[in-house]
Structure 1
Amino acid sequence: MSILCCKAKLVCAFLLLICFNVALGDDGYELWLNYNRPLDASICSDYGNYLNNSRIIGDSKTMEIIEDELTKASKGLCNFQFNQNLSNNQLVIGNYELLPSELKNLISNRLPNNPEAFIIIQKSTGNKEIVITSNSDIGVLYGTFEFIKQLQLGNSIDGLEIVSSPKIDLRLLNHWDNLDRTVERGYSGFSIWNWHTLPDYIDQRYIDYARANASIGINGTVLTNVNSNALILTEPYLQKVKALADLFRPYGIKVYLTARFSAPIEIGGLETADPLNQKVVDWWKNKADEIYSEIPDFGGFLIKANSEGQPGPQNYGRNHVDGANMLARAVKPHKGVVMWRAFVYSEHNDEDRAKQAYSEFVPYDGKFDDNVIIQVKNGAIDFQPREPFHPMFGAMPNTPLMMEFQITQEYLGQGTHLVYLPALFEEVLEEDTYVKGKGSTVAKVIDGELFNYKMTGMAGVSNIGTDRNWTGHHFLQANWYGYGRLSWNHELKAEDIAREWIALTLTRNSKAIDSITEIMMESREAVVNYMDPLGLHHIFATSHHYGPGPWVDNLGRPDWNPVYYHQADSEGVGFDRTKTGSNALEQYSPAIQKEYGNIKTIPEKYLLWFHHVPWDYNLNNGKTLWDNLALKYQEGVNEVIDMKNSWSGLRNDIDPTIHKEVSMMLDIQLAEAKWWKDACLSYFNSFAKKKYPLGVEPPKHSLEYYKTLKFPYAPGIRPQW
């Protein structure tokens, strides 16, 4: 009897486990490579004719990955086996050099002269083979992922012809991950790099990370925080880095490291890190040789120097050129690069912080070695919800500049707000610098078209962590995906990328896709409105940047205080960066100076960035600045309400687990949007002393109440070094 009872209990437990797993639903782990959502039989039938008669040419590790990926996709999406039938091949996958001559003739001159470029083409005569090829195995991998995506999206296979080549060379993720597994400005758990168990233990998550990045064309990863730790350059850690590099190589991903400028002192036993000291030069050369002996395709170094207390060449009376070129010469024999960040501002410099990077770097245009690329944030301050494009773009025709975007959401609601960042990326890339007349966009600067840069790059600061769904909030996956797509082709539109991601990740229902696309495209403007409308910026709480803090004025230097950036007083609000103020505007082209320098012609989204404006000044709609400011804050709240209501109506179209989790996040976002509105309007009205316009809900609490709120353990806080 007891045995039967035990068996019954086990059966019940098993059934409960099954029910529990079903209830769990989609946990988001598969990202946009979710092959667990079967397609219609008609789509599978069309693609199956090719997938069931296929041939993979080549025997590299990358080609093995291609076969494995096609096998997973075939089984998950269409429930059939991917087979290699050598006698009647219809799908042919392989390096161009290995193709049969008749298929080479089909490709002819259509394949771009770029080793990462690929072509997918269907023969129109005879046997209708589909060919996926490239001049490299990695390009073939990119083409395979594109083919699988066409299958996932249910696109027609008839007349298929896709030719694709990346517009940017270096397409990188920057991990701000520390060796203790904390992540600076990370909002989705701990670092995925478990340095303690590397190199012997290879987590499946590392492989899935590589798959995800390769599927969107990302070809490099900087493993460590820009606020760097010299220990990563020691032999034990280099063995751990080597394990990751070996794993990532077949996916076309190079590893890079952040180099602490003072490493020769901290781990090398030298008394100086002066870049012109021969012992220092030799130390870095030897260190580079050591790294490349273990990792022959090591990408190079990313450097943050002489910014926010980080050591650099200026500690020794040298300049950025001295530091960057010294490191560049150490890695150049190995074809390595140095990415030198332009995010610099100094406690010894009282110049408008928005001007400092331009002032420090532009005079050195053309003096950096040819394997140095300057990495520039999209705006001159620091990843704000909206900034004008950085004035360095277009100002250094003889020095390659690469874009640095954030994928994580510091200053943008962190891990709980739905904010679709490709809308921000697109806005910045399409901004016109006018440096060579109309049409001189930021995108044309960074892709080398304007100045014929020999090296191009784009970096995205990652929010990838140990959370099961990788990014904490399900919709933050779209920022990772969208960044990869835009770094490959910056001419893509954010809205089209959103629709693609939704179909790959959430639902194929066309009406649901329309609704979710509207939510995503509205989300970035919503966060601008309830945080930093009309050009306000950097009014966040101290250190962790979680929540509003426009009143903060007690930090150690002026430009750490929000009051520095908004300069509110009884007369008005805004930072005067015209000729009557800091004149940061002079760093832009004459056309922009003319437009932005005039309070009547400046785009109102940048108004308070460049002008100190009276509270009673009438904007284009005839309402005063105060009324517009208050209405913008309320508009941001209302937009979140709309997002929340739209999402609620999608309950029957979305996996229930994802729907519930996003719903809870939207509850948080709405509460925090109201907090932002109430706290900021309470503060600014302590100067303006105006009535709230019709349609604006007055703050629920006093200004003193909002000032008392403290969050010492907010996620993503910067550690103390």
Structure 2
Amino acid sequence: MNYNRIGGYITICLVLALSGFGQTPATDDGYRLWLNYDLIQDAAKRQAYTRSAQFIALPKTSPVLKSAAEELQTGLQSLLGKSIPIITNAGNRTGGIVLTTSGPAANSPALAKEGYRITTSNNTITVAGQSDAGALYGAFALLRQLQTLQPIAAQTGNPNVQLRMLNHWDNVDGSVERGYAGQSLWKWYELPERVDPRYRDYARANASLGINGTVVNNVNASARFMTAEYLHKVAALADVFRPYGIKVYLSVYFAAPKTLGGLKTSDPLDPQVRRWWADKVKEIYQTIPDFGGLLVKANSEGEPGPQDYGRTHADGANMLAEAMKPYDGVIIWRAFVYKADPNADRFKAAHEEFTPLDGQFDKKVIVQVKNGPIDFQPREPFSPLFGNMPKTPLGVEFQITQEYLGFATHLVYEAPLFKECLDADTYVNGKGSTVARVVDGSLHNYARTLMAGVANAGSARNWTGHPMAQANWYAFGRLAWDHSLSSEAIAREWVAMTLTHEPQAANRIVNLMLKSRDIYVDYNTPIGLSRPWSGVHFAPEPWQNRSSRPDWTAVYYHRADSIGLGFDRTATGSNALAQYRPEVCRQWEDPKTCPLPYLLWFHHVPWTRKLSTGRSLWDELCTRFYTGADSVRWMQQEWAQVKSAVNPALHDDVSARLATQQREAIWWRDAWVLYLQEYAKQPIPAPFKKPERTLDEVKQSVNTYLLR
């Protein structure tokens, strides 16, 4: 039988021979991320997979389907150690993979627009999607089965959330706000003439997770991104991302009509301002026809916004939505707002400003809410906005980059943090009204749904700085697609696809990952202790009490005094708890029954009060600080045990970072214990030893760090 092959068979074989496909590199620099298509060492499994992978049939072609077929070809050739041709018509031939967007499987009512279905019959695998993007996601799902050595089985996958996107906080000068993996991925000075091949690999990695959108610039936006010069640069990125089902979005500077357009005002109700935005959005779509939309940070941390003109957030968002009306794009309006009021509680700010506006936003607007009410803390309660705006689509914003989680030196697996928020029950419509059900639209029938993650990728060769931080990018993408997945299941996938298949080593690494976040919290901010402020959001500085505004100090959050510690948010304090449903309040309002992870978030607790552990507050804090820091040694020991099962270069990299983490964990421990002891006026309990340095010496070390 004569088959029409896409690409020459001989050429493929030559390329494969020269590239050494399927061979584990002597040095793994982390560039391949979880698309680590090393040769499957289990010969029996490899043979079983090969029986259904003799060819890839692509009856219909499009840029997205072509990407799917090429990814399958690349992955299968490396995983199976043989060349796999792409053909246009399989005819009656069996033993291959058919990529399709037609037929019963693709047209099943069980499939969402971007959903996929994998079926097996007569030794043939059909990967079907209702759309080209669905088929692409199905191709990656099939590869994931092989990478994790699972039997090829029928499966259906539908995304829980429509817009699954990364938010890059990248600037025009190449810097990245809260970026810890080098400079920006986007080489603005080269674009649009030179397009770095790395952009395609970025798109592949995101598509493998079902991520379908990316905001390429910082929410603290430069108006320069609205110029024709930069729109053409962004268009070049869009051209690379489009074949992987990814749309580009832009953060906008709300005052651009003044700073860029030369108008006298940026008042959202001014006709000239509205016309300027309508013309600008038209220009964007003429340059990028499938543009995704605009992300806005307004009247937050000094950024301009509609309140500068006595207007509301809804006024500002709706003006942009009006400009977007002729197009498919959306307006994403961030709810991260708080005022410099010494008598206010920053915890309450977003709820106070946004809930009165419920129902006033245009249908093109999504309000993007941080997972917690303060600012991406190592652990914080879910934002009270979730469940309290039933008429306004609310998207959730997580932070993948580790702004408050140890930058690129601390190993912290973030899936448990994401899940803690998503699984939290708002009780807005009774038990089971989880944040996940708010975000996926099922609770309030939102027409548009969104999950966003502040990206941790940069110019570092391994993308994320810390090799293990790749797991956080991966976990975000998997949960944006399916928030029912467990932290453990995601960790096991990632370890198998990225690090090792050796069972004991994999179990050890997964266990380490699952415990890492609690370990970090214990030496950093235990029992609901709010974070100490510092300009870099890293150095321990609980004594910091000077700033232009009270909520930019450390003492504002922990409120340590001679009586105790913690922020009273009950009816006797700021009453922030009243923003939650009564069922939630009852969990947290009584300090005697409040779960320890949230105790100091809601209560000012006396140093001598006995907690549920049987220890006083002071003794419990010391126990957490010391055992948390000591647990990093356990992490080092566990990682040392998997050395023979992990690529040597990667193992050495993580080992060195764990050594730094151990030193810095002790730094955090000493700073907190010595500082709080001045208020508690109690000895450090046995068996823990007093820190070797004094508080003044710790303060000096912090000052030295901040001068770097």
| TM-score in terms of structure 2 length | 0.94
Per-residue CA deviation, residues 371-423 of structure 1 (Å, 9 max, x unaligned), is 10100001000010000000000111111100000000001101100000011
Size of the alignment, in residue pairs? 684
Shift, 1:331, TM fit: 1.0
SS at match of 2:58: strand
Provide the residue aligned with 1:502 in structure 2.
Answer: 495
Question: Paired residue for 1:549?
Answer: 541
Q: Matches of 1:539 and 1:710 in 2, distance apart?
A: 12
CA distance in 1, matches of 2:24, 2:480: 37
RMSD of aligned alpha carbons: 1.7
Q: Does 1:385 align with 2:378?
A: yes
- Residue 202 of structure 2 is matched in structure 1 by 209
Tell which deviates more after alignment, 664-673 or 342-351.
Answer: 342-351
Contact map agreement 2:100 2:106 (CA 8 A) in 1: no
Give the Å deviation of 1:40: 2.2
Q: Which position in structure 2 is the counterpart of 1:137?
A: 132
Which of 587, 598, 602 is matched with 2:594 structurally? 602
User: Aligned partners of 1:524, 1:670: CA distance in 2, in Å?
Assistant: 14
Q: Which amino acid aligns with 1:71?
A: Q
- Decide whether the 8 Å contact of 1:111 with 1:117 is kept in 2: no
Closer, same or farther: CA 714–94 of 1 in aligned 2, 3 Å: farther
Question: How has the CA–CA distance of structure 1 residues 509 and 558 changed in structure 2, closer, same or farther, with 3 Å as cutoff?
Answer: same
Distance 1:552 1:171, change over 3 A: same
Contact 1:41 1:78 in 2 (8 A): no
Would you say the 8 A contact 1:111–1:163 is kept in 2? no
Match of 1:489 in 2: 482
Partner of 1:120: 118
Residue identity in the other structure for 1:145: F
How far apart are residue 348 of structure 1 and its match?
A: 5.2
In the other structure, the counterpart of 1:572 is 564
Residue 90 of structure 1 is matched in structure 2 by 95
Q: Aligned in 2, Cα 1:349/1:312: closer, same or farther, shift over 3 Å?
A: farther
**Counterpart contact for 2:277–2:320, Cα < 8 Å:** yes
Question: Is the counterpart of residue 178 in structure 1 residue 171 in structure 2?
Answer: yes
Q: Which stretches in structure 2 are left out of the alignment for 5+ residues? A: 1-19
Match of 1:288 in 2: 281
Q: CA deviation at 1:695?
A: 2.7
- Alignment check: 8 A CA contact 1:302 1:338 kept: yes
**1:22, distance to aligned residue in structure 2 (A):** 9.9
Tell whether 2:690 aligns with 1:695: no
What is the distance in 1 between the residues matched to 2:576 and 2:187? 44
Q: What letter is aligned with 2:465?
A: G
CA contact (8 A) 1:259 1:301 kept: yes
Matched, 1:233 2:226: yes
Distance 2:357 2:639 in 1: 51
Q: Deviations over 1:562-598 (max 9, x none)?
A: 1000110011010000011111110011112222111
Which residue does the alignment assign to 2:643? Answer: 651
Summarize the alignment of residues 431-510 of structure 1 with structure 2, pairs less than 5 Å apart: 431-510=424-503
Shift of 1:94: 3.1
Q: Which residue of 2 aligns with 1:6?
A: none
Instruction: Give me the whole-angstrom Cα distance separating, in 1, the residues matched to 2:342 and 2:680.
Output: 32
Per the alignment, residue 327 of structure 2 pairs with 334
State yes or no: 1:31 paired with 2:24.
no
Deviation at 1:664, TM superposition (A): 0.3
Q: Which residue of 2 aligns with 1:640?
A: 632
Name the aligned partner's letter for residue 462 of structure 1: A
Q: 1:396 aligned to 374, 386, 389, which one?
A: 389
Q: Which amino acid aligns with 1:683?
A: Y
What displacement does 1:110 show? 4.5
**Cα distance in 1 between the residues matched to 2:39 and 2:123:** 28
Q: Report the 3-state secondary structure (helix = DSSP H, G, I; strand = E; otherwise coil) of the residue aligned with 2:189.
A: coil
Match of 1:616 among 572, 588, 608: 608
Answering whether residue 343 of structure 2 is matched by residue 370 of structure 1, we say no
1:713 deviates by: 7.6
Q: CA deviation at 1:485?
A: 0.1
Question: Paired residue for 1:8?
Answer: none
In the TM superposition, residue 37 of structure 1 has moved relative to its aligned partner by 4.0
C-alpha distance in 1 between matches for 2:419 and 2:667: 29
Cα separation, partners in 2 of 1:712 and 1:383, compared to 1, 3 Å: farther
- AA matched with 2:375: D
Matches of 2:307 and 2:704 in 1, distance apart?
A: 33
Structure 1's unaligned 5+ residue stretches are 1-17
Conserved 8 A contact 1:365-1:398: yes
**Residue of structure 1 equivalent to 2:7:** none
Asked whether the 8 Å contact 1:39–1:154 carries over to 2, the reply is: no
Amino acid at match of 2:116: F
User: What is the CA-CA distance between 1:108 and the residue it aligns to?
Assistant: 8.1
Check the 8 A contact 1:54/1:89 in 2, yes or no.
no
Q: Once the two structures are superposed, what CA deviation does each residue of 1:478-520 show, in whole Å capped at 9, x if it has no partner?
A: 0000000000000000111001100000000111110001100
Identity %: 49
| Counterpart contact for 2:58–2:100, Cα < 8 Å | no
Deviation per CA, 1:243-280, whole angstroms, max 9, x where unpaired?
A: 11111111010000001000001111101000000000
In the alignment, the residues of structure 1 paired with residue 608 and residue 446 of structure 2 have an alpha-carbon distance, to the nearest angstrom, of 47
Determine the C-alpha separation between the residues in 2 that align with 1:370 and 1:271: 29
Q: Tell me the SS of whatever aligns to 2:633.
A: helix
Partner of residue 3, structure 2:
none
Q: Secondary structure at the match of 1:709?
A: helix
Offset from partner CA, 1:438-477 (integer Å, 9 cap, x none) = 1111111111111111111000001100100000000000
3-state secondary structure, aligned to 1:538: coil
The code of the aligned residue for 2:661 comes to Q
Does 2:295 match 1:302?
yes
Amino acid at match of 1:455: R
Q: Deviations over 1:301-335 (max 9, x none)?
A: 00000000000001111110100100111112101
- Which of the residues 312, 315, 321 maps onto 2:308? 315
Task: Tell me if 1:63 matches 2:55.
Answer: no
Question: 2:573 aligned to 573, 576, 581, which one?
Answer: 581
The CA deviation at 1:696 is: 2.1
1:49 maps to which of 45, 48, 51: 51
